[in-house]
Amino acid sequence: MDFQPIIDFIKTLYPGKDPIVLHEPQFTGNEKKYVLDCIDSTYVSSVGKYVTLFEEKVAEFLSLPDTRYPIPDTKSEPLFCVATVNGTAALHLALIAAGVKAGDEVITQPLTFIATANPIVYIGAKPVFIDVDPDTLGMSPMALRALLKSLVTRHRSLPKACVPMHTFGNPCRIDEIVEICNEYGIPVIEDAAESIGSYYKGQHTGTFGLMGTLSFNGNKTITTGGGGMVVTRNLQLATRLKHLSTQAKIPHPWEFAHDAIGYNYRLPNINAALGVAQMETIHEKLESKRQLAKKYADFFSTIGIQTIQEIPGAQSNFWLNGISFKNRQQRNEFLQLAVNQNVHCRPAWELLPTLEMYKQYQCEDIPNAQRISDTIVNIPSSPIN
């Protein structure tokens, strides 16, 4: 197949850009103003008004139902957000706050960025990998139920947490996953690093489980340079998360007293200043990304190439658009052509259980994840003007 028309089409979307990158940040609002204000105030570190403001803005945004869904099912209890230095730290704290300890098992998916699984291992816990669904690319509720049933049948102890991920911003069947985990008393921590602005059945991703985590890395839909967030409806957990993220220091005007092994994971004010400005333009960014996804879908349908599409009830932020090739060889031919012309595309991740450090952990049958890893390519997805 001749892939040049694909490259040519991508170039028409980003005229004058060379290279065309996968996802670049856009600073079109008050970013400079707020960062300068932050510098002028001298509060550039982990204390300052922008951290709280950023947490409030994200909590407010995540609480809003998606009006495009006919019966928004958003829960009414308030959401609490705790800002962290990055999404990996957010996951690490969430797992600790959920009570995961060394030796425990934690269910997750093999098709994800390595940062989903690394914090499990930081704790000394053991990931258990189960397959993803072929349409959402996220954790399969069927595979989850099969694993839990078989553990019960064999009188084995149950995993202590479950970490599904909304792949490339495309929501997984999170309501079913939470329902199954609730049946077995397993807390769900949603890795929503890629999915700010994505909804399932009217409710924002990351708000279904006991906790959810976000990333504001430079390649994400909105960025703080580096940054992350833990989201929960449980005030006690939120308080604990904030405490752990600030070295577990007991507030006191001068004493240095700490009541646990804490972490230096609090987001600096200067990063939060950037985040507050980014949140002010998030709706425009999301709208532009949706239009881009539509252009891609229309184009690829004319040449018989499949794009990643939302399942009924899902609203994706289309963080990264993806297209599917027949096999790994065809995928690589396309990637080579794109690289040669400075159009940044990338394959889906190599599956985590195939990496040396993860080979020792339990992995169920994962045919869907394998096929997706072999065939999917992400294509440039920065918002278009």
Ligand X SMILES: Cc1ncc(COP(=O)(O)O)c(C=O)c1O
Q: Interface with ligand X by CB under 6 A: which residues?
A: 86-88, 112-113, 115-116, 165, 191, 193-194, 215, 217, 228
Unique residue bearing structure tokens 């997706």: 372
- Measured from the CB of residue 378, what is the shortest distance to ligand X in angstroms? 11
- Measured from the CB of residue 1, what is the shortest distance to ligand X in angstroms? 30
**Within 13 Å and on the Cβ side, how many CA atoms surround 371?**
13
- Going by the DSSP 8-state scheme, the letter that residue 348 receives in this structure is P
Q: Which of 247, 257, 215 is nearest to 89 (CA)?
A: 215
- Measured from the CB of residue 256, what is the shortest distance to ligand X in angstroms? 28
Residue 287 backbone dihedrals phi, psi, to 5 degrees: -65, -45
- Measured from the CB of residue 72, what is the shortest distance to ligand X in angstroms? 26
Q: For residues 133 and 191, which CB has a smaller minimum distance to ligand X in the complex?
A: 191
Q: For residues 229 and 305, which CB has a smaller minimum distance to ligand X in the complex?
A: 229
Q: For residues 20 and 196, which CB has a smaller minimum distance to ligand X in the complex?
A: 196
Unique residue bearing structure tokens 């449980």: 234
Q: Which of 271, 240, 212, 247 is nearest to 90 (CA)?
A: 212
Measured in Å, how far apart are the chain's first and last C-alpha atoms? 31
Alpha-carbon distances, residue 164 vs 24, 61, 172, 360, 368 (angstroms): 26, 21, 8, 20, 15
Q: Following DSSP, what letter does each residue of 66-92 receive, concatenated?
A: -TTSSS-----SPPEEEEESSHHHHHH
- Measured from the CB of residue 116, what is the shortest distance to ligand X in angstroms? 5
- Measured from the CB of residue 140, what is the shortest distance to ligand X in angstroms? 17
**Within 13 Å and on the Cβ side, how many CA atoms surround 81?**
26
Closest residue to ligand X using C-beta atoms: 87
Q: For residues 57 and 305, which CB has a smaller minimum distance to ligand X in the complex?
A: 57
Q: For residues 271 and 324, which CB has a smaller minimum distance to ligand X in the complex?
A: 271
Which residues fall within 8 angstroms of residue 67, CB to CB, at 6 or more apart? none
Q: For residues 112 and 221, which CB has a smaller minimum distance to ligand X in the complex?
A: 112
Dihedral sign for Cα 249, 115, 176, 181, please.
Answer: negative
CB neighbours of residue 206 within 10 Å? 29
Q: For residues 196 and 238, which CB has a smaller minimum distance to ligand X in the complex?
A: 196
Dihedral sign for Cα 104, 172, 216, 203, please.
Answer: negative
Q: For residues 132 and 165, which CB has a smaller minimum distance to ligand X in the complex?
A: 165
Q: For residues 115 and 272, which CB has a smaller minimum distance to ligand X in the complex?
A: 115
The three-state DSSP-derived secondary structure of 204-255 is ECCCCCCEEEEECCCCCCCCCCCCEEEEECCHHHHHHHHHHHECCECCCCCC
Q: For residues 228 and 268, which CB has a smaller minimum distance to ligand X in the complex?
A: 228
Helix (H, G, I), strand (E, B) or coil at 334: helix
- Measured from the CB of residue 230, what is the shortest distance to ligand X in angstroms? 12
